[in-house]
């Protein structure tokens, strides 16, 4: 039984019948164009096919199913040729995109349409690429979703407003297919929230009881069409428990704020600088040119590089409070908040115990010269105090030492061409103003909602920009 609040939300997010009819007519037209080629079969997939898309969404996915006897190169060549021909016949602007293999994205009748080639396989165990699995997902959900479509809409809007919707590398959240499976498993939106409010660190769901392997992810939902795949592999531990927190908050005190994105709360440069000064920490940013690759490739490498540079700072004696990274169109930014950015000249280095004769002798021999003190013995261990190589964090971050850490491949290549080091207020820029504002004002999604409802300045999470229409 849905509440009046949920019914009012549904009236705003449920696609209107005339819009539904228009989009389905366009889909039929595109599928007919694929079928006329007599080399592939057209199929509508995704949320539009399953009647689980939100009002305002304009993404239409048409798959072109080719015979599995084709080689991978033949599939790509013929698929792109067919898609280009359809786009030209429609007079639509288009461009090639790349996922596991290339496809065509075009704009037509106000829709963003993807024409994706895949193999027409009859058994999901015989798929040759990840996209071959998608038609099976569409059939599985379509056969079971009737009666739960509105519950899916509510959950998707809840997830978008909460910032945990999307399986992309930036979001690390819940894909649309995962939302549908969770609603089906728990039999509705409210039962899902009730169950999620009690989730622990590890959660395992196997709707069909077919799992053939184990997973260590925080949330495991076995794909009903593939016993060796975790649909929730993209969900990070942070995103999982942001959802848990929101579920508890909504069950205790449901309001419209759970279905609406937070209001913009971007700091100006002076406000940002004042906020850093009040914190008493030091903020440093490394800015590099964005590598010419899609976010799915660049973002994991940014995070790997962030961890590597953080390790360098900590090994050098600089205490790190928090870090984060962002990918922009022109630049990427690695952000580090340090509790201290200046260290004394002396660096204490602990050596081996005296009773390890060979190691002890090597240690003493190594540090006979150029020490500030020692080697000396303390509690049975050799200690030496040597001059610190970097006493200023900025000097370390500007040095070639950063290139000798475990940077991501494409990030390292970009940084080899040069990078910039920013400090405190210099980290603010128009491109990253929202990112650095959220970094300073970080809060959990429920805390953000309660602050807004109580008239306090909101701390905004930028994972979602979806709003009610």
| Annotated domain spans of the chain | 4-141, 149-259, 269-342+391-440, 346-387
The Cα-based distances of 136 to 124, 127, 132, 225, 230 in angstroms read 7, 10, 8, 7, 15
Kindly list the averaged pLDDT for each block of 10 residues, start to end, along the chain of length 469: 94 93 94 94 94 92 94 93 93 83 89 94 88 94 96 97 89 94 97 97 96 94 95 95 97 95 86 95 97 90 96 96 95 97 95 96 94 95 95 97 95 96 96 94 90 66 40
So what's the pLDDT on residue 463?
Answer: 39
Distance CA 296, CA 99 (A): 9
| Fold agreement (4-141, 149-259) | no
**CATH 3.30.460.10 fits domain 4-141:** yes
| Helices 149-162 and 237-252, axial angle in degrees (round to 10) | 110
Q: Is 401 helix (H, G, I), strand (E, B) or coil?
A: helix
Distance CA 206, CA 213 (A): 11
Q: Which residues contact 170 (CB under 8 A, 6 or more apart)?
A: 295, 299, 327, 463
CATH second-level architecture of 346-387?
2-Layer Sandwich (3.30)
* CB distance 114 to 62 below 8 Å: yes
Q: Domain spanning 269-342+391-440: which CATH class is it, in words?
A: alpha beta
* CB distance 305 to 409 below 8 Å: no
So what's the pLDDT on residue 458?
Answer: 47
So what's the pLDDT on residue 469?
Answer: 38
So what's the pLDDT on residue 293?
Answer: 87
So what's the pLDDT on residue 457?
Answer: 57
Classify strands 93-98 and 226-230 as parallel, antiparallel or unpaired.
unpaired
The CATH number for 149-259, chosen from 3.40.50.620, 3.30.9.10, 1.10.1410.30, 2.60.40.10, is: 1.10.1410.30
Hey, what's the torsion of the CAs at 197, 243, 268, 435, to 10 degrees? 140
Q: Is 128 helix (H, G, I), strand (E, B) or coil?
A: coil
CA neighbor of 220 nearest in space, from 235, 210, 208: 235
CA neighbor of 254 nearest in space, from 398, 450, 387, 70: 450
Give 426's DSSP letter: G
Neighbours of 81 (CB within 10 A): 14
Distance CA 412, CA 241 (A): 33
Residue entry with tokens 């409210």: 190
Per-residue burial over 102-115, b if 16 or more Cβ lie within 10 Å, else e, is bbbbbebeebebbb
Q: Which run of H or of E encompasses 135?
A: helix 134-142
């Amino acid at each position: 039984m849905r509440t009046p609040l949920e019914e009012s939300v549904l009236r705003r997010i449920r696609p209107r019948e005339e819009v539904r009819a228009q989009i389905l007519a366009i889909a039929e037209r595109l599928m007919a164009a694929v079928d006329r080629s007599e080399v592939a079969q057209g199929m509508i997939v995704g949320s539009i096919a399953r009647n689980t898309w939100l009002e305002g969404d304009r993404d239409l996915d048409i798959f072109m199913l080719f015979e599995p006897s084709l080689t991978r190169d033949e599939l790509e060549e013929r698929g792109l040729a067919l898609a280009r021909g359809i786009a030209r016949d429609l007079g639509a602007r288009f461009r090639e995109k790349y996922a596991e293999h290339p496809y065509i994205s075009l704009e037509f009748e106000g829709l963003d349409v993807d024409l994706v080639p895949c193999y027409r396989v009859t058994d999901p165990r015989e798929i040759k690429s990840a996209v071959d699995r998608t038609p099976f997902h569409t059939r599985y959900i379509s056969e079971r979703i009737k009666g739960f479509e509105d519950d899916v809409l509510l959950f998707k809007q809840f997830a978008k407003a909460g910032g945990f919707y999307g399986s992309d590398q930036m979001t690390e959240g819940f894909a649309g297919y995962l939302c549908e499976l969770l609603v089906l498993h728990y039999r509705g939106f409210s039962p899902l929230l009730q169950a999620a409010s009690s989730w622990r660190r590890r959660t395992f769901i196997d709707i069909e009881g077919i799992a053939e392997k184990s997973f260590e992810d925080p949330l495991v939902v076995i794909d009903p069409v593939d016993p060796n795949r975790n649909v929730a592999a993209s969900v990070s531990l942070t995103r999982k428990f942001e959802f848990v927190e929101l579920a508890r908050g909504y069950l205790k005190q449901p309001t419209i704020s759970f279905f609406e994105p937070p209001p913009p709360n971007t700091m100006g440069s002076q406000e940002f600088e004042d906020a850093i000064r009040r914190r008493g920490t030091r903020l440093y940013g490394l800015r590099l040119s964005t590598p010419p690759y899609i976010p799915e490739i660049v973002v994991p490498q940014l995070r790997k590089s962030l961890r590597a540079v953080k390790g360098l700072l900590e090994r050098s004696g600089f205490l790190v409070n928090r870090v984060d990274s962002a990918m922009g169109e022109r630049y990427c930014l690695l952000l580090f908040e340090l509790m201290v950015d200046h260290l004394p000249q002396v660096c204490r280095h602990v050596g081996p115990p005296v009773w390890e004769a060979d190691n002890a002798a090597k240690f003493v021999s190594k540090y006979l010269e150029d020490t500030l003190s020692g080697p000396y013995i303390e509690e049975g261990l050799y200690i030496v105090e040597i001059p610190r190589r970097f006493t200023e964090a900025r000097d370390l971050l500007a040095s070639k030492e950063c290139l000798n850490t475990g940077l991501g491949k494409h990030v390292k290549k970009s940084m080899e061409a040069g990078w910039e080091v920013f400090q405190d207020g210099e980290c603010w820029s128009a491109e990253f103003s929202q990112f650095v504002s959220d970094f300073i004002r970080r809060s959990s999604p429920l805390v953000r909602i309660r602050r807004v409802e109580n008239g306090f300045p909101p701390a905004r999470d930028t994972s979602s920009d979806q709003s009610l229409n």
